Amino acid sequence: MDDALALTVSDLRVLGDDGRAILTVPHLAVPQGAAIGIRGPSGAGKSTLLFALAGLASRASGRVAWGTTDIVAMGEGDRAAFRRERIGMIFQDFLLFEELGALANASLAASFAPRRRRGAIARQAGATLARLGLAGGARAVASFSGGERQRVAVARALSTDPAIILADEPTASLDRETADRLVDDLVALARETGKTLIAVSHDPAVHRRMDRLVDVVDGTLAAEAPADA
Amino acid sequence: MPDAVADLWQTLPVMAQDIAWFVLLLLPALVVGIVVLAGYRPFALVGAILWRFRWTSLLFVALIAVSVGIGVGLIAQERGLRQGTARAADKFDLIVTAPGSEVTMMMAAVYLQPVDAPLLSGAVYNEIASHDRVSLAAPIAFGDSYRAAPVIGTTADFVSHLSGDLATGRLFATHGEAVIGARVALDIGDSFEPAHGAGPAAEEGAHAGAAYTVVGRMRPSGSPWDKAILVPVEAVWAVHGLPDGHGPQHEGALGPPFDADYFPGTPAILVRAEELWANYALRSDFTRADTMAFFPGAVLARLHSLLGDVRQVMSVMAIVTQVLVTAGVLAGLVILTRLFSRRLALLRALGAPRRFVFAVVWSYAAALIGAGAALGIGVGVAATAIISRVVTARTDILVRASLDWPELHLVAGFVSLTVLLALVPAFVALNRPVAPELRA
Amino acid sequence: MPNRLLRLAAIPVLAWAAVSFAADDYDDHVAESNGLRVVHAWARATTGPEALVFADIVNDSGADVLLQGGASGLAASVELVGFELRDGEPAYTPLPAIPVRNRREVVLAPNGLALRLNGLAETLVEGDEIEITIVFDVGPVDVHVEVGASDAAGHSHAGHAH
């Protein structure tokens, strides 16, 4: 597997609104196709790290390179374009459009993608939904259970066939059984297609399925730990 | 080049000019829409947002619709009044009266508003009637009434002029016969006794013993004449104890020619020439010390231009209202976008370009404006229809509600202006940081 | 309305002024030929290719004459028109010649008779003075036409005794 989109972070500093550093990452390297868990106490800066990796941190310095692409150095439009093409994101509370159906949510990216990609996005969204056991009907997702919603969110993240999946507490809103199933599905989908998966989570069930774990404590990325710790 | 454009413009038929104006006024909205939306398909999202905030959206649409409706209604109502009053005066080419106020005499002779007016003599009547360009000269002798209906003394020719063929029955042929307007509450064969004067001051019983029998009914004209009762002018004179316009040797037939010595007078004479130009010649001939000749159409046009001035002032207020309401709605929209700012932040996280998020918010605003404007046309027309019905009931002048280009131009201009204003909340929505919104 | 009252009040003063000072001005307000006098010809400032010319025409020629139309170097054609309300909308309809009886006056005024200049070469601007010829069966009369405001209701000197 080539490492075209391997992650290299060095000297990353993210500043808060008051100008103080809320996150410092001296070094982090993730080969392409790896599954990495980020853990740490609440408020330690785990989500901040994830958003910085996605190019969503507004005040960051240092280097966050996906392959040769340093996302910190890019302008906002280029970062959005990079996310559009390379990254799928999953959130704790799903962030679906409640009024739309499963397929409409999962293929949301088609509404702003170039015309030639729209068909592929819708097909991929439908296929992932089917794989996850959801029919793509028009029923609004407002009536879906938490597990169903997160599976729609997973299908949305994978609809553009991104090389990178960033998940922020993907199981925190789910019951145990649902959470386990979701994590199994997510990791399986990522591994099958060689996607890099980086998941912020305090859920040991998530940690167990990762290749390795990194800890964020008090706004600093601490030493790496093996996956089962 | 501008000259060439102006020349081309002048060669267009009116309809094409109206359509061109409409398109031109709507063009800014279309261009903005095309530029903002190019390459995107935000409609499902916009639909989702509309549905999520359906009650607020409905309120916004209703506010815009009412303010647009006021503007549309004003224009349509003014035109309806103009056309209605003009149609009601259509049969009255030229009126000759004693010198006085043209407006007062028009109100009396055309719209049958009671007034005390000096009389024209038989000599004047005969001079008019025998003029070589006059095809119809009919006395309009107002003053009596029956219940709410004015009783007008005139000639059978005038009845034919007003109504063409009668709806039912026949023209009056003797003193005791009457032809009624389309909406008079009498039937053929009914008899009635007229009162002297009209309204509360009418003297019932002043003409005791003088009864008319209804022999015919006119077709509806959409004018106060639908509520009028037409009788031979000779009968009106006779009822008042005056000579009946014909000398002692006269026998039989009603109507002209009249004998000037036995002609008690008439407050107004309707004059009709076969051609427009002859009316001008006649007006010139009968504008002199003892007579006044005027075109009700020209008097109406003066009143209409006053009405137009009032409408213009009110239109300015209506436009200001529209813009204020829309500005209010757009300010509300800025607040509303905070409620879906997480979803907008999500779009950014998924890699949507800024312009796409902009397009979503703008499309939402544009949808509210578009729906409000379309509904506003309906509100305006409905309001005009109701007001027109009330006016028609009160004045007997048939006023119709209609939708025409000026209103559509107003609405097109409104849509263009406010859709441009809607760029502002879309900009505001963009300037919110993404990451904080995404945290649970 | 106050404007009109002021004008009424001004008549005696202006009449005197007209007599004493306006001798050279007189020519511009009154045109006379063959016993036909055209007084206070005026038009409104325009933006389009048409304009209406109004005036008072007094016939002291000793016989009835026919007002036929006109001509002007500024316009493609000049025709006599008459006002009508057509479905509530004001409109001016071309007319054939109309008679002006001896010792009588025909008034060309808004909402009445007018001479319409069609196909104007240039727009009329307030303060301009244009020349047209009014054509009668007994011959033409050259007239100076004063251009008033686009919403003018009459000649600026209307009410003067000329």
Query: Are B372 and B253 within one domain?
Result: no
Which residues on C lie below 8 Å from B279 (Cβ)?
Answer: 82
The pLDDT value given to residue A151: 94
Give the three-class secondary structure for B140: strand
Q: Cα separation of B298 and B304, whole Å?
A: 10
The reply to whether residue B298 touches residue C83, judged by beta carbons under 8 angstroms, is: yes
Cβ–Cβ pairs < 8 A, chains A and B: 90
Closest CA to B40 of B342, B347, B345: B347
ipTM field: 0.92
Please identify, among B248, B273, B294, the residue that sits at the C-terminal boundary of a domain. Answer: B294
Q: Does C23 have pLDDT greater than 70?
A: no
Which residues on B lie below 8 Å from A112 (Cβ)?
Answer: 39-42, 347, 352-353, 356
Q: Does A225 have pLDDT greater than 70?
A: no
Q: Residue B197, Cα to own-chain centre: how many angstroms? A: 30
Give domain limits for chain C.
2-17+29-148
- Residue B111 structural domain: 94-294
Average pLDDT on A126-145 reads: 87
Q: Residue-wise pLDDT tens for chain B (440 aa)?
A: 466 776 777 777 888 889 999 999 999 999 999 999 999 999 999 999 999 999 999 999 999 999 999 999 999 999 999 999 998 998 899 999 999 999 999 999 999 988 888 999 999 999 999 988 899 999 999 988 898 899 999 999 999 999 889 999 999 998 899 999 999 999 999 999 988 877 776 777 666 667 899 999 999 999 999 999 999 999 999 888 888 888 777 776 788 888 888 899 999 999 998 888 888 888 888 988 999 999 999 999 989 888 888 888 988 888 888 889 888 988 988 888 888 888 899 999 999 999 999 999 999 999 999 999 999 999 999 999 999 999 999 888 899 888 899 899 999 999 999 999 999 988 888 878 888 888 76
Tokens at B266, concatenated:
């008439």
All residues at 6 or more sequence positions from A150 whose CB lies less than 8 Å from its CB, including other chains = A90, A94, A170, A171, A173, A174, A178, A182
The reply to whether residue B82 touches residue C89, judged by beta carbons under 8 angstroms, is: yes
CATH of C2-17+29-148, one of 1.10.10.10, 2.30.110.10, 3.40.50.300, 2.60.40.1890: 2.60.40.1890
The pLDDT value given to residue B209: 65
Q: Residue B404, Cα to own-chain centre: how many angstroms? A: 12
pLDDT above 90 covers a percentage of chain A that reads: 77
**Which residue of B45, B353, B356 is in closest CB contact with A97?**
B45
Q: Does A219 have pLDDT greater than 70?
A: yes
Tens-digit pLDDT profile for residues C116-161: 999 888 888 998 899 999 999 998 999 999 998 888 877 776 655 5
Query: Are B308 and B290 within one domain?
Result: no
Q: Cα separation of B36 and B50, whole Å?
A: 19
Tens-digit pLDDT profile for residues A121-132: 999 999 999 999
Residue B60 neighbours by CB distance under 10 Å: 24
Which residues on B lie below 8 Å from A78 (Cβ)?
Answer: none
φ/ψ region of B284 (left if φ > 0, alpha if ψ in -120 to 50, else beta) reads alpha
Q: What is the number of residues in chain C?
A: 162
The overall average pLDDT reported for chain A is 90
Tokens at B208, concatenated:
């005791």
The pLDDT value given to residue A79: 94
Reported as half-sphere exposure (CB side, CA atoms, 13 A), residue B395 has a value of: 18
All residues at 6 or more sequence positions from B287 whose CB lies less than 8 Å from its CB, including other chains = B293
Structural domain tally of chain B?
2
Query: Are B77 and B99 within one domain?
Result: no
Q: Is-contact A109 A121, C-beta < 8 A?
A: yes
Strands annotated E in B43-97? 94-97
Tokens at C133, concatenated:
């010829």
Written as one letter, the residue type at B437 is: E
Query: Are B334 and B433 within one domain?
Result: yes
Q: What is the chain B residue with the closest CA to C112? A: B298
The reply to whether residue B39 touches residue A58, judged by beta carbons under 8 angstroms, is: no
Give the three-class secondary structure for B120: strand
Interface of B with C in 297-316 (CB under 8 A): 297-298, 300-302, 304
The reply to whether residue A80 touches residue B435, judged by beta carbons under 8 angstroms, is: no
Q: Residue A2, Cα to own-chain centre: how many angstroms? A: 21
Q: What is the chain A residue with the closest CA to B49? A: A99
The continuous run of DSSP H or E covering C38 comes out as: strand C36-44
Q: What are phi and psi of A98, to 5 degrees?
A: -60, -30
φ/ψ region of A11 (left if φ > 0, alpha if ψ in -120 to 50, else beta) reads left
Report CA-CA distances (Å) from B1 to A77, B5, B6, B7, B8.
Answer: 43, 6, 9, 10, 11
Q: Is-contact B25 B413, C-beta < 8 A?
A: yes
Average pLDDT on A183-205 reads: 94
Which residues on B lie below 8 Å from A111 (Cβ)?
Answer: 40-42, 44-45, 356
The reply to whether residue A83 touches residue B39, judged by beta carbons under 8 angstroms, is: no
Query: Are B83 and B99 within one domain?
Result: no
Report CA-CA distances (Å) from C14 to C10, C42, C157, C162.
Answer: 6, 19, 9, 10
Would you call A81 an interface residue with chain B, using a CB distance cutoff of 8 Å? yes
The pLDDT value given to residue C153: 78
The overall average pLDDT reported for chain C is 80
Tens-digit pLDDT profile for residues A64-98: 999 999 999 999 899 999 999 999 999 999 999 99
Q: What is the number of residues in chain B?
A: 440
Q: What is the number of residues in chain A?
A: 229
The pLDDT value given to residue B2: 60
Written as one letter, the residue type at C51 is: A
The pLDDT value given to residue B329: 86
Query: Are B126 and B209 within one domain?
Result: yes
Domains of chain A, CATH where assigned: 32-42+75-214 (3.40.50.300)
Chain B closest-CA separation from residue A174 CA (Å): 14
Q: Cα separation of A149 and B137, whole Å?
A: 87
Tokens at A197, concatenated:
């998966």
3-state secondary structure B82-121: HHHHHHHCCCCCEEEECCCCHHHHHHHHCCCCCCCCCCEC
Chain B closest-CA separation from residue A197 CA (Å): 16
Query: Are B266 and B165 within one domain?
Result: yes
Name the pLDDT band for A181 (thresholds 50, 70, 90). very high
Query: Are B23 and B131 within one domain?
Result: no
Query: Are B55 and B99 within one domain?
Result: no
Residue B49 neighbours by CB distance under 10 Å: 25
Give the three-class secondary structure for B137: strand
The pLDDT value given to residue B207: 67
Q: What are phi and psi of C52, to 5 degrees?
A: -105, 135
φ/ψ region of A45 (left if φ > 0, alpha if ψ in -120 to 50, else beta) reads left
The pLDDT value given to residue C10: 44
Q: Cα separation of A139 and A85, whole Å?
A: 28
Would you call A121 an interface residue with chain B, using a CB distance cutoff of 8 Å? no
Q: DSSP secondary-structure letter at B119?
A: P
**Which residue of C85, C93, C100 is in closest CB contact with B86?**
C85
Interface of B with A in 48-77 (CB under 8 A): 48-49, 51-52
Query: Are B125 and B272 within one domain?
Result: yes
B290-B292-B297 Cα angle (round to 5): 170
Tokens at C135, concatenated:
């054509």
Would you call B352 an interface residue with chain A, using a CB distance cutoff of 8 Å? yes
